[in-house]
Amino acid sequence: MKQSKISRRSFLLGLGAVSAAAVLTACGGSSSTAASGSAASGNAASGSGVVYRTLDEIKASGTINIGVFSDKNPFGYVDENGEYQGYDVYFGNRLGEDLGVEINYVSTEAANRIEYLQTGKVDVILANFTVTPERAEEVDFALPYMNVALGVISPDSAVVTTLDNWNADDQMIVISGTTAETYLTKEYPDIPLQKYDSYATAKNALENGNGVAWANDNTEVIAFANQNPGYTVGIASLGSQDTIAPAVSQGNTTVLDWLNEEIQKLGEENFFHKDYEATLVDTYGIDYEDELVVEGGVAAGADASSEAASSEAASSEAAASSAAAQ
């Protein structure tokens, strides 16, 4: 099993042209594309226009296309050697190994995760995808592998500890397509949002003082504060506790079934604890491990909405299988 690799030049160009989302080129001359074996030969969900490849088609092609972040250290990022690394990538590597295929990592942004599934550019999304009922109406979520909430980070010189009595002249930095954007728009409509398309540009905006604070997954803002002196997570948990899970195109029951079985089997060997210790412990320490890690798809203390969304995905899978058998 091999994962694709990109040159530094290709990576930098890719960040500026995500819509191309071409598959990142492997060193040594070999290359592949995100469209390889996807839309052209995939299946379309009835009446929806959603395109996907079945598990057998993925196996036959010899490659699985997995959407991950390329700039979200320590979850999905490209290192100085052009290799994908991080918590989601560690998991993706194991999926490719157990499926017996090579891995083609496709750089994705938060705002295009659903689009990349629906158009067949990727077979699976592992880009730190928080389960919500709204998203479960457009994609099918597998069992979760991590807990998450929202958090808010700001400079030490003016730490934001509450969103109440917000100054109308102050702007909150968010990333388009994230749960932070959705939550703040709904719960705090009077807070002006400064929206960015990528994690890299949002981080730069915070560093440049373009907003008074940045709202994002608490795992991300905690990591940023630990790696960048001068910033404090003034709100460590905002809103509900949710879960992160793999996602597939709606109706792709063969891949969804396999993912759920795989996650349950991996739980038997405490795989996600090993993943945490290999990729996240340097950032969060050992104290956060049991709080963040979900083993075997069982999320202790997860918010009911997240569980409902995962259950909805499983229900749609069962219904589709039943309909096909009739």
Q: Is the pLDDT of residue 71 over 50?
A: yes
Q: Is the pTM of this model over 0.75?
A: no
User: Tokens 């490719």 correspond to what residue?
Assistant: 96
Q: Is the pLDDT of residue 13 over 90?
A: no
- Asked if 8-145+245-325 and 148-242 have one fold, the answer is yes
Domain topology for 148-242: D-Maltodextrin-Binding Protein; domain 2 (3.40.190)
pLDDT at 239: 86
- d(CA 238, CA 148) in angstroms, rounded, equals 10
| CB-CB contact of 82 with 280 (8 Å) | no
pLDDT band at 1 (very low <50, low <70, confident <90, very high): low
| pLDDT tens profile 136-175 | 999 999 999 999 999 999 999 999 999 999 999 999 999 9
pLDDT band at 299 (very low <50, low <70, confident <90, very high): confident
Which residues have C-beta within 8 Å of that of residue 162, sequence separation ≥ 6?
A: 235
Which residue type occupies 319?
A
| CB-CB contact of 114 with 138 (8 Å) | yes
pLDDT at 68: 98
Exposed, middle or buried by CB within 10 Å (0-12, 13-18, 19+), for 220? buried
pLDDT at 109: 94
pLDDT at 223: 87
Q: Is the pLDDT of residue 320 over 90?
A: no
Q: Is the pLDDT of residue 5 over 80?
A: no
Residue 209: CB atoms within 10 A of its CB come to: 10
Which residues have C-beta within 8 Å of that of residue 306, sequence separation ≥ 6?
A: 130, 131, 132, 144, 240, 241, 242, 243, 299
| pLDDT tens profile 14-37 | 433 333 333 333 333 223 334 445
**What is the assigned CATH class of domain 8-145+245-325?**
alpha beta
Instruction: Please give the mean pLDDT across all residues of the chain.
Output: 83
| pLDDT tens profile 215-239 | 999 988 988 998 899 999 999 889 8
Closest listed residue to residue 258, CA positions, set 59, 106, 50: 59
Domain boundaries, the chain: 8-145+245-325, 148-242
| pLDDT tens profile 93-135 | 999 999 999 999 999 999 999 999 999 999 999 999 999 999 9
pLDDT at 288: 82
pLDDT at 87: 97
pLDDT at 47: 52
pLDDT at 226: 87
| pLDDT tens profile 238-277 | 988 899 999 999 999 999 999 999 999 999 999 999 999 9
| pLDDT tens profile 42-58 | 666 545 678 999 999 99
